[in-house]
A and B are shown apart, each in its own frame.
Chain A
Amino acid sequence: MDVAVDTLNRAFAYSTPLLWAGLGAVYSERAGVVNLGVEGTMILGSLTAFAVAHRTGSLFLAVTAAALTGALVALVHAFISVTLRANQYVAGLAMTSFGLGLSGMLGRAYEGIALARPMQGITVPVLSSLPLVGPSLFRGQAILTHLGLLVAVALWVLLYKTRWGIAVRSVGESPATADAAGIRVARIRYASVIAGGALASIGGAYLSVAYRPSWTEGMTAGMGWIAVAIAIFASWNPLKAVGASLFFGALYYLSFRLQAYVAPELLKLLPYLAVILVLAFSARGRRRLFLGAPEALGEPYYRGAR
């Protein structure tokens, strides 16, 4: 029992940054834009949040500033991939390089400082007395964990139950058809990419103000890439993204717990190996790479191009 609560508790904590960033990837890719800059966006979010929290002491400001940073970075990506119709894969990679490099440079002043007042865990009344999820989720987790789950539900409602969601998905499936139906393709793609960047950046903020309240160069350590993979496992469905993030959260925890028996370096490579295995096992035929992939994913749209 204790082991189950413990495992779930740490899995929720580890999965929080993955979930936020994964949801960002889902949203952006639903509109047809691949953003491989998630890792760079996340780490700029981590640095922004830590710097603001350290200077002002306000965690609210810190997370807001991180979201704005993420939105700004994503705006650049949207401009390059929507307006300039560049190769989205290369642009995203470049953004990741830039984000990692820039955060390493500007963050040097903050290395090795512990945040005076980090984000504390909260106890949610009533819910915390539930079995299993009570002690693991509703007691002692930072509010960003709960918010992340709420955002997942909200994003699902947005994508599947609203006019805006239909517009977003149709732009991702067939921009030409959407355009003919009077949907503003570029506007929706911009909005989705920007929102996705803000979500990824909040995931990064969780790392530096709640999970490990400090700043270390390269602290996202590939989480942004796992988030990109989560969008694929989840078939671009926000609710399934919760499950996928928890899976990787549990894996991170496991690799931490097993250190007594196996070399820690070998355990650290488990999540990355798992991404490859899960992708291989969830691949469904070669034509349409994965079930539920937006049809126009990664393709720039030129009006009158078909």
Chain B
Amino acid sequence: MRASFGPSFAEIVSPPRTRALWVTLASVALGLVASGVVFAVYGVAPIAAYSVLLRETLGDARGQAEVVRKSLPLILIAVGLAFAFRARFFNIGAEGQLLAGAAAASGVALFSDIPAPYTVWAMFLAGFAAGALWAFLPALLKVKLGVNEVITTLMLNFVAVYGIEWLINGPWKGRTVMGFAYSDPFPAWARLPVIPGTRIHWPTLVLGLVAAVALHFVLARTRLGFEVRVLGHNPEAAAYAGIDALRVTLAAALIAGGLAGLAGVGEVGGTHFRLRSPSQISPGFGYTAILAAQLARGQPLAAALAALFLGLIFAAGDVARALLRMPPQVPEMISGLLLLAVVSAEIFIRYQLRFPTVPKGGD
């Protein structure tokens, strides 16, 4: 056996619960420092930039409202992803599921005859169904054929992107929009109400919070939650216990997909009021929400909280664009670095670095 030089990892037998919190916070801080380095490379002074971004987002009521507005789709998606990850369904397709939900809601808003007070309800229902449908095939393929869901859910994102491009350039292209590629605007009764003085479409917020509490309850107290936890912890034990992997995986996938679909309804029904280019409907909410689910370690309530933090990053991205003239990819870059830092730090929760003691005189 070779002697090992340099530091090695030593397992901590029972790490205190607070250790996870401290390690995660430290890794987030590290990720923000690394993003600051990228700012500097780009030619923006990082400390000045961060202080502008913080002041314009958290500094006044208008900025805070924007943070909440940006977090609306993230809460719904992150809560669902946290649940799906617990069942070991690694859904990378929330972006596509969001877009599917947005398209379905637009279809209802533009072309259905559902009477006014029910239109919005129908939009949410259709959006949930479309998002769930988008997650259905990967879940089925995973359980029936063992096809890796990471790749299939991701591929369906592109299908959704080009599908919407087709709709807004083809059959759903608005008659009143001249040459632009988007649908006609939604009628007034297909628009979500907002909290006065803000752009927060509150029905989406309510749905997100209800989903967080409900899934927390499902995980902690119900048979499905128990099955999800067992399947996620040890698939073989789940099989011995007679847990139907297909049913549980499908449930987790459909719930996660459906919630992402609701997020899409919120975006078109509460912000854009029409179906438009996919990159405008979602600047990568579906991908960034993965970071929230990771930060929350599969806890739906914590995922909602983490989503609020990511809402801050997206709101800051808008400020960076408007005030610092930075490109729109800033939030994507920051969330990538944060996710890298968070996943890298994972090992420090259960292990600590041990430096070898060098015996004097050699061996």
Is A105 a contact partner of B327 (Cβ separation < 8 A)?
yes
Question: Which residue of A80, A276, A286 is within 8 Å of B340 (Cβ)?
Answer: A80
Of B165, B326, B333, B346, chain A has the most CB atoms within 10 Å of the CB of: B333
Is A95 a contact partner of B336 (Cβ separation < 8 A)?
yes
Is A195 engaged at the interface, CB distance under 8 Å to the other chain?
A: no
List the A side residues contacting B155 at CB < 8 Å.
225, 229, 272-273, 275-276
Of B144, B331, B343, chain A has the most CB atoms within 10 Å of the CB of: B343
Per-position binary interface string of chain A over residues 225-247, scored 1 when its CB falls under 8 Å from any chain B CB and 0 otherwise: 10011001000000000000000
Interface of B is mostly: helix
Question: Which residue of A89, A93, A98, A268 is within 8 Å of B333 (Cβ)?
Answer: A98
State the CA gap A84–B137 with chains docked (Å). 34
Is B361 engaged at the interface, CB distance under 8 Å to the other chain?
A: no
List the B side residues contacting A287 at CB < 8 Å.
146
Is B154 a contact partner of A225 (Cβ separation < 8 A)?
yes
List the B side residues contacting A108 at CB < 8 Å.
327
Is A209 engaged at the interface, CB distance under 8 Å to the other chain?
A: no
State the CA gap A89–B85 with chains docked (Å). 12
Is B152 engaged at the interface, CB distance under 8 Å to the other chain?
A: yes
Is B53 engaged at the interface, CB distance under 8 Å to the other chain?
A: no
Do A283 and B330 form a contact, CB below 8 Å, given A80-B344, A276-B152?
no
State the CA gap A228–B153 with chains docked (Å). 13
Closest A residue to B142 by beta carbon equals A286
- Total B residues in contact with A, Cβ cutoff 8 Å: 54
Is B144 a contact partner of A286 (Cβ separation < 8 A)?
yes
Is A87 a contact partner of B148 (Cβ separation < 8 A)?
no
Is B335 engaged at the interface, CB distance under 8 Å to the other chain?
A: yes
Is B335 a contact partner of A263 (Cβ separation < 8 A)?
no
Q: How far is the CB of A190 from chain B (nearest CB, A)?
A: 14
Do A265 and B166 form a contact, CB below 8 Å, given A91-B340, A93-B92, A273-B155?
yes
Is A97 engaged at the interface, CB distance under 8 Å to the other chain?
A: yes
Closest B residue to A300 by beta carbon equals B347
Q: List A62-104 residues whose CB lies under 8 Å from chain B.
A: 76, 80, 84-87, 89-91, 93-104
Question: Which residue of B38, B161, B343 is within 8 Å of A91 (Cβ)?
Answer: B343
List the B side residues contacting A87 at CB < 8 Å.
343, 346
Is B141 a contact partner of A280 (Cβ separation < 8 A)?
yes
Is B152 a contact partner of A86 (Cβ separation < 8 A)?
no
Q: In the complex, how many residue pairs between chain A and chain B have their CB atoms under 8 Å apart?
A: 153
- Total A residues in contact with B, Cβ cutoff 8 Å: 50
State the CA gap A225–B290 with chains docked (Å). 17
Question: Which residue of A96, A102, A103, A280 is within 8 Å of B145 (Cβ)?
Answer: A280
Is B15 engaged at the interface, CB distance under 8 Å to the other chain?
A: no
Is B120 engaged at the interface, CB distance under 8 Å to the other chain?
A: no
Per-position binary interface string of chain A over residues 274-285, scored 1 when its CB falls under 8 Å from any chain B CB and 0 otherwise: 011001100101
Is A173 engaged at the interface, CB distance under 8 Å to the other chain?
A: no
Closest B residue to A283 by beta carbon equals B145
State the CA gap A268–B333 with chains docked (Å). 26
Q: How far is the CB of B302 from chain A (nearest CB, A)?
A: 17
Is B42 engaged at the interface, CB distance under 8 Å to the other chain?
A: yes
Question: Which residue of B147, B332, B346 is within 8 Å of A100 (Cβ)?
Answer: B332
Closest B residue to A94 by beta carbon equals B339
Of A98, A217, A232, chain B has the most CB atoms within 10 Å of the CB of: A98
List the B side residues contacting A275 at CB < 8 Å.
151-152, 155
State the CA gap A33–B146 with chains docked (Å). 19
Give B residues with C-beta under 8 Å from A.
Answer: 9, 38, 41-42, 90, 92, 137-138, 141, 143-148, 150-152, 154-156, 158-159, 161-163, 165-166, 169-170, 284, 287-288, 290-291, 294, 326-337, 339-340, 343-344, 346-347
